[in-house]
Structure formats: C-alpha cells, structure tokens
Amino acid sequence: MKKNSALWRRALFAGRGLWIAAREEASFRTELLAVAGGVILLYWTGASLLWWGVGILLMGAVLAAELLNSAVESLADLVSPEYHPLVARAKDCGAAAVLVLSFTAVLIAALLLWRYLRLGG
C-alpha cells in the first residue's frame, strides 16, 4: 500500500483488517459480543445521550485496543517466532492495555445499571 493512497483504498484496507480480526481473533469476536450487550444495556435502560456517548467511546476504544494488540502480536511473531522475553513483554503489555480498557468499560456499565436500578427504571 502506498502511503498516500486514495481514501477509499485506505478504507478498504481498514475494512480488511476488521474482517481478519473478526474471523481470526477470538478475543475480538468476544468483544464484539460485549459491544452488542453494551448497546442492548444502553437501550434497555433508556440511557441519556451522554451515557450513549460514553458507552460508544469506551466500546470503540476497547475494540481499537484489541486491534492494536493483535497487530503487535502479529508483528512480534513475525520478527521472533521463537520465545524471547522482550516479545513476551510486548505481548503481555498489549493484552494488559485491552484488559484495563475492558475493565473500565465494565465498571462504567455497572454504574449505569446501578443508577438505572436505584432510580427504579
């Protein structure tokens, strides 16, 4: 891919990346299911526009972090197919970034649910 390709061409490459992640990465598929659950929770609770904005932002951040983590893991495996402590460290840190964002999203969802239940729906 040339650096200054047309926007539509770059969008095709990005779409291919999403398709590859959905097809080959179990974690990404799990997170897509969590996103669907998050959308259902937001709808079910009648969340305000602010809650929707925060929820969409967090869901997008988790998916983006997983995509970046998958990219790091793929490059690390290419560069060093055998075990290397620095490669393991890079992979673990990438996974930790996804975990931190996911945990934050779950806490935010719990706050929304708690608020909804406390106010009686």
Q: Helix, strand or coil for residue 83?
A: coil
Distance CA 113, CA 121 (A): 9
What is the per-residue pLDDT across 50-109, written as a single tens digit (0 to 9) for each?
A: 999 999 999 999 999 999 999 999 999 999 999 999 999 999 999 999 999 999 999 999
Distance CA 42, CA 111 (A): 12
The one-letter amino acid at 79 = V
Question: CA torsion 56→62→65→71, rounded to 10°?
Answer: -100
| pTM check: above 0.85 | yes
Residues identified as active-site: 66
Residue written as tokens 């055998």? 82
Averaged pLDDT of the chain: 94
Residue written as tokens 């659950």? 37
Distance CA 29, CA 23 (A): 8
What mean pLDDT is predicted for residues 29-39? 97
- Say what the pLDDT of residue 121 is: 62
- Say what the pLDDT of residue 21 is: 97
- What separation in angstroms does the CA of 50 have from each of 46, 54, 56, 96, 113? 11, 6, 10, 27, 15
